[in-house]
Amino acid sequence: MKESRRSFLKRLAFNSAGNPGAATDDADHVFLNIFLRGGADTLNMLIPYGDDDYYRARPTIGVKSGGTALKPPADSDLAVKLDDFYALHPRMSPLRRIFQEGRLAFVQAVGSDNVSGSHFEAQDQMEHGEAYHRRLQGGWLGRHLFYRGKVSAPSPLTAVAFGNTIPEVLRGAPTVTALQSVDEVELKGGSSAILDDLSLLYSAS
């Protein structure tokens, strides 16, 4: 089943709103962690079009820039400029708006100096949040949720993973719900008023 990000967040918000233990103040945030296990060509995602070396090194696969931060390019194959140096891959152009609003930041050229050359070891280091095999217990996000759980009681939806198993990054968390689809989550006894309010909220966004 294919599900859009908007649809997922909308339905997850509905289920959380019906949970008596769900917090409702403005301090609540959702952290969305997407791990591209197959790897990602970041130079063709966030394109340094202002650097001539990029096109010299990639004469055939370099993505040409076209649009501006305010006006999308006419050609859908052209990257969308964010500033005088960087541009987004055309398939990532929906991110331009939240970047302009200051709600999105890109961090380039970040990595570990413990380079093994193994994709699997690098993936393990990333999920555990350490690079020198100190055998820390659990994933970095699981450890964060473990210590956070000592302050406030976690709910079943504190951490949600999509897949057959719990990813390593969430190992050690007090509670993790693994789902194949949000269709597996059912809210019993929910008020129709909650759904009406959420429908109005999302229709205005």
What would the pLDDT profile of 23-80 be if each residue is shown by its tens digit?
444 456 778 888 888 778 889 999 998 888 998 999 888 888 764 444 444 455 688 8
- Mean pLDDT value across residues 97-122: 85
Task: Name which of 107, 149, 181, 153 is nearest 138 in CA terms.
Answer: 149
Task: Name which of 149, 118, 145 is nearest 133 in CA terms.
Answer: 118
Any idea what the Cα angle at residue 179 is, between residues 174 and 183, rounded to 5°? Answer: 130
Both 151 and 196 in one domain: the answer is yes
* Percent of the chain scoring above 70 in pLDDT: 67
Q: What pTM, to 2 d.p., does this model score?
A: 0.59
- Mean pLDDT value across residues 141-160: 82
188 domain-assigned: yes
What pLDDT, on the 0 to 100 scale, is given for residue 163? 84
Range of the domain at 82: 42-100
Both 146 and 197 in one domain: the answer is yes
Is 13 in contact with 60 (CB distance < 8 Å)? no
More confident residue, 2 or 151: 151
**Structural domains counted in the chain:** 2
Both 128 and 169 in one domain: the answer is yes
Q: Helix axis angle, 5-17 relative to 192-203, nearest 10°?
A: 150
Both 35 and 125 in one domain: the answer is yes
Task: Name which of 84, 56, 89 is nearest 72 in CA terms.
Answer: 89
Of 53, 73, 100, which closes a domain? 100
State phi, psi for 35 to the nearest 5 degrees: -105, 115
Choice among 12-26, 48-62, 144-158, 168-182 with the minimum mean pLDDT:
12-26
Both 121 and 171 in one domain: the answer is yes
